[in-house]
Structure 1
Amino acid sequence: MLTKAILFDLDGTLLDRSSSLEAFLPNQYERFHSILKTTNYKQFRERFLHLDQNGYVWKDQVYQQMEGEFKLPLNSWIPLISDYVKGFAQDCVAFPDTHRLLQSLTKQEYKLGLITNGVGDFQRQNIKHLQLDNFFDTVHISEIEGMKKPDPRLFQRALQNLGVTAEESIFVGDHEEKDIKGAQSIGMKTVRIDHSNTILESLADEVVYSCNQLQQLFVR
């Protein structure tokens, strides 16, 4: 069946979270050096990345844990989380060729959707800063929708908004459980993107390793 719509995950698929954090964390450490002086930047960075668990632990928990471990002033986590919410978007970056990929798909008249887990305002800021908002016909953020991937209802809602069926659609993501299995549960075809080139196996219909490879996959 002809593919009419392509839907994407955000973090780890279009947004390069690792590079974004490597830009954000030194800036935050510099801004808050007066309260972070009990630790050096290397310790701060390493502990943040460990506690963050690739973004699957929300930052209030991360900063509260770091406050205790580094013996920071009481309630230091509050300005740190506020700075993260407001400042991360300024340092976030997309993977190479992301815009070229989306421009190509738009020119080929695919309908495009975005489904991402996360906090509404935070993810909206990231999408806007990356200048991705104008590419998508529908955007679904888990906090706003009241459900998160891999809940099949979230994928179904996006397809309904696009006016397409699961059989006419493909989902692209980096996470096996939340993206690939979630989309497959309603009958969508899937592509897993592995920017780190570390995947050994996947249930996805296709595996690609860059946005450039992904673009070639969807040439009509």
Structure 2
Amino acid sequence: MIKAVIFDMGGTLEDIYNTPETRLENAKTLLEYMKRHGITLECDPAEFSEKVIRSYGDYKKFSDENNIELMPFEVWDKYRLRDYPEIDRRILQAISERLTHIWETHFHHRELRPHAVEMLTALQKAGYKLGVISNTPSLVQVLWTLHEYKIFDFFEYVGLSSLHGFKKPDPILFQIAARDLNVQAAECAYVGDTIDKDVKGARAAGYGMTFRIKSYAEEEQRLTGDETEADYLIKDLSEIVTILEKEKGVKAYE
């Protein structure tokens, strides 16, 4: 029987996407913040944005291939700002988490999915333990965003790749979440939007149920066989409650 429901963050609990406008605003905000701390880069924001995005792409490739999440300073030093050796690295180290937070909250447009609060309320009322596992380069952004959405208090556990040093689909993230929630892996359901990171990671950890919600990443999915798909493919978070009601026999929306 499922006793805990654990969620991915970006693309699952929230819709997340970026546009040329958000990318440019992100670059301007980063440059302004660095200048405030004595790091002045005389460059065009659009050009800066393209260069940093390209460098971050190399980090993402390394990170995804090895399921490793580096600390914020390492990401900025070795990847995002590697083309700017003139930057004072001591200052960069001191502000790297803040730069990461800016990136995550300005580069992307984020919005809580419809029915998220009602779904979480219903699951909590039905007695499920709730948690979050998120791949993120920031140490604080997910926690900050959960507070912004006013849903932080629903969760007994929040696990971040930036804190663990590993990232999904490494099963250790899913195993730690189950143990910290004091349940068996087979008693956990995981809700994510990707096959490679969410579905495969949860299954490798022995989770009893997987959900995949359609998201901006849908076009990136590449099925290699039916065994890679989630147990349930959903379009709305409210479907989770209906499905679990049938499994547990609890009318969570009453």
Q: Determine if the TM-score, normalized by the shorter chain, exceeds 0.5.
A: yes
| Structural mapping, 1:1-220, within 5 Å | 2-19=1-18, 23=22, 25-26=24-25, 28-29=27-28, 32=31, 35=40, 38-41=43-46, 43-53=47-57, 56=60, 60=76, 61-65=78-82, 67=84, 74-75=86-87, 78=92, 81=96, 83-88=98-103, 93-97=110-114, 98-118=116-136, 119-188=138-207, 189-196=209-216, 197-198=218-219, 199=221, 201=223, 202-219=228-245, 220=251
Tell me, in whole angstroms, the C-alpha distance in 2 between the residues paired with 1:174 and 1:80. 31
Tell me, in whole angstroms, the C-alpha distance in 2 between the residues paired with 1:45 and 1:104. 42
Q: Which amino acid aligns with 2:173?
A: L
Q: Which amino acid aligns with 2:139?
A: G
Q: Point out the more displaced range, 172-181 or 116-125.
A: 116-125
Cα drift, residue 110 of structure 1: 1.6
Q: Which amino acid aligns with 2:130?
A: L
Q: Which amino acid aligns with 2:230?
A: A
Q: Point out the more displaced range, 22-31 or 142-151.
A: 22-31
Question: What is the CA deviation profile of residues 18-68 of structure 1, one whole-angstrom value per residue up to 9, with x for unaligned ones?
Answer: 259965751551573685663254x45555545444x94665155314648
How many residues align? The count is 213
Q: Secondary structure at the match of 2:140?
A: helix
Q: Aligned-pair RMSD on alpha carbons?
A: 3.7
Q: 1:144 to 1:200 in 2, by over 3 A?
A: closer
Segments of structure 2 that go 5 or more residues without pairing to the other structure are 64-71, 246-250
Q: Secondary structure at the match of 1:115?
A: strand
Identity of aligned residues (%): 26
Q: Secondary structure at the match of 2:81?
A: helix
Q: Which amino acid aligns with 2:99?
A: Y
Q: 1:66 to 1:173 in 2, by over 3 A?
A: farther
Could you tell me the TM-score, scaled by structure 1's length? 0.72
Question: What is the CA deviation profile of residues 161-190 of structure 1, one whole-angstrom value per residue up to 9, with x for unaligned ones?
Answer: 222222222111223233211211132121
Cα drift, residue 216 of structure 1: 4.4
Q: Secondary structure at the match of 1:94?
A: strand
